[in-house]
Amino acid sequence: MPTRIRPTSSPSPTASFTLLPALIVHISSSPATPATTAPPETATPRQLAIFGAGGLGREVLVLLRQLNAVAPTWELTGFYDDQAPATDLIHGLRYLGTTTDLNATPTPLAVAVAVGSSAGRAAVVGRLTSPRLHFPSLIHPNVSAESYQHLEVGAGCIITQGCILTTDIRLGRHVLLNLGCTIGHDALLDDFCSLMPHANVGGAAHLEAGVYLGTNATVLQQVRIGASTVLGAGAVAIGNLPANCTAVGVPARVVER
């Protein structure tokens, strides 16, 4: 039986991806921490904090507990957020402070950035500057990520339950794949792309940095979506879209620049 690969992160600041396994490929001009395999089941759980105390943060907490149920990898320390939540206790974990507090951590700490907005997530990562912080990639235990699929996953990616990735796919840093997304062969998703539940990306499509796909949005094969563009819920992109716009409908048409 092939070994399942669960990417996390390592301290090197020079590479953007982990290939599962084999060659490393750079597809982003910005430096990134590469993902590496998770520790074996006998390893001591490592400390991990969640940044983002909202709904996505609670969903990421569920993902982490699902991962720990398969192999006890993470010791969950608590939540951080620059906006304090209504309660200091969230599903058994404490609210511990802001990005300033997180940067002041005295020991190495893994961080899952649970912010759904592409721009918001990039801004948070930009503020988390301590060299003691690192960003593991988290992949739901039922998502297939085998070596023969030739997947490349950047540091800080979050891939949730029900997602399907086929083969020869590259994900940049801090890509979010929410529930039930599908990614076709040879697709390229640059840093900080965000796909909401059941979004679909066709073969050889390219989502530039910071693209946001709403729930049930679809990008057809070989279509390129420009950086920071929003494709609204249920929209279907049948042709290329420019950067920094919002497109909706079937077929998708630009409604805002």
Confidence (pLDDT) at 13: 33
User: Is the confidence at residue 6, as pLDDT, over 90?
Assistant: no
Q: What are the structural domain ranges in the chain? A: 39-135, 139-256
116 annotated ligand-binding residue = yes
Q: For the domain bounded by 39-135, which CATH number is listed?
A: 3.40.50.20
What is the average pLDDT value for the chain, to the nearest integer? 87
What is the pLDDT averaged over residues 132-158?
98
> pLDDT exceeding 90 applies to what percent of the chain?
82
What count of other Cβ atoms lies within 10 Å of the Cβ of residue 218?
A: 21
Q: Do 39-135 and 139-256 agree at the fold level?
A: no
Which of the pair, 232 or 21, is modelled with greater confidence? 232
**What single string gives the DSSP state of each residue in 55-90?**
HHHHHHHHHHHHHHHHS--EEEEEEE-SS--SSSEE
User: Is 34 within 8 Å of 18 (Cβ atoms)?
Assistant: yes
> For residue 73, what are the CA distances in angstroms to 17, 39, 44, 136?
21, 7, 7, 11
Q: Which two tokens stand for residue 61?
A: 């907490």
Confidence (pLDDT) at 44: 59
Which of the pair, 139 or 7, is modelled with greater confidence? 139
Q: Which two tokens stand for residue 133?
A: 């912080």
Query: Cα(164)–Cα(158) distance, rounded to whole angstroms?
Result: 13
The alpha carbon dihedral of 24, 28, 32, 38 has a sign of negative
User: Is 217 within 8 Å of 230 (Cβ atoms)?
Assistant: no
CATH 2.160.10.10 fits 139-256, yes or no: yes
Q: Is 185 a catalytic residue?
A: yes
What is the pLDDT averaged over residues 87-109?
97
Which of the pair, 8 or 113, is modelled with greater confidence? 113
Catalytic member of 134, 185, 198, 206:
185
Q: Do you find a cis peptide bond into 11, omega within 30 degrees of 0?
A: no
Confidence (pLDDT) at 68: 97
User: Is the confidence at residue 217, as pLDDT, over 70?
Assistant: yes
* Close Cβ partners of 189 (under 8 Å, ≥ 6 residues apart): 169, 170, 171, 172, 175, 183, 195, 201, 207, 211
Query: Cα(75)–Cα(232) distance, rounded to whole angstroms?
Result: 37
Q: Which helix (H) or strand (E) holds 39?
A: none
User: Is the confidence at residue 2, as pLDDT, over 50?
Assistant: no
